[in-house]
Amino acid sequence: MKCEVDRPVTQTAEPNGSQQNVAKNYISHLYQFQNNEMKKIDAYCVTFIQNINFFKKNFPFIEIIYIPFDKTYNDYIAFLKGTDFYSLPFDNYLYICKKFNIKNLPSFMIIAPNNNVLVRDAVQLIKTDAYVNNFKSLVKNYTVHPSQFKIGNRFFDLFCA
């Protein structure tokens, strides 16, 4: 998935030169400040995937399910080629957004086996150095047993129930 932002609308100067170009001082890309440096937002997406993959190495028993918010099917396929995540089909994601109250993209939410949301904004969690220990303390009491599933299938419980 490639992060894209619209370029700001530029206003051309009046032919007589009396009006200044209003847009000349706008930043043409979206940036974030991280580790004492400015990074473009597309770099943030790459960092986000690297953080998720690092998370997966520390917690191999956790499954990551990608919920596609891509603009096109080709973007969806291109993103999935670079990951080993499970994915929901490329179609209407608004139901999932409403069900889990997703407000920001990219979003990383940690859901317990009983379908309770453990961490709503896990992106902030995995940015911390101590997140491995913090997360271990969160999940140590959760075990998954198929008899706990309402519909008998974890995916159906999460996304259909």
pLDDT band at 18 (very low <50, low <70, confident <90, very high): very low
Flag whether 109 is in a domain.
yes
* Tokens 């991280």 found at: 34
Could you tell me the pTM of the whole model? Answer: 0.47
- For helices 41-58 and 131-139, angle between their N-to-C axes, nearest 10 degrees: 50
Flag whether 4 is in a domain.
no
Checking if the pLDDT of 21 tops 60, the result is no
Predicted pLDDT at 96: 76
Flag whether 121 is in a domain.
yes
Checking if the pLDDT of 31 tops 70, the result is no
- Its domain, for residue 98, covers 56-159
Flag whether 15 is in a domain.
no
Domain count, the chain: 1
| pLDDT tens digits, 127-145 | 666 777 777 776 666 655 5
Predicted pLDDT at 139: 66
Flag whether 108 is in a domain.
yes
**31-62 burial: b if 16+ Cβ within 10 Å, else e:** eeeeeeeeeeeeebbeebbebbeebbeeeeee
* Tokens 């956790």 found at: 62
Predicted pLDDT at 22: 46
Of 130, 131, 113, 112, the residue nearest 122 (C-alpha): 131
C-alpha to C-alpha distance for 41 and 139, rounded to whole angstroms: 31
pLDDT band at 106 (very low <50, low <70, confident <90, very high): low
Flag whether 97 is in a domain.
yes
Flag whether 45 is in a domain.
no
Checking if the pLDDT of 73 tops 50, the result is yes
DSSP-derived 3-state class of residue 39: strand
Structure tokens at 3: 């992060």
Flag whether 42 is in a domain.
no
DSSP-derived 3-state class of residue 68: coil
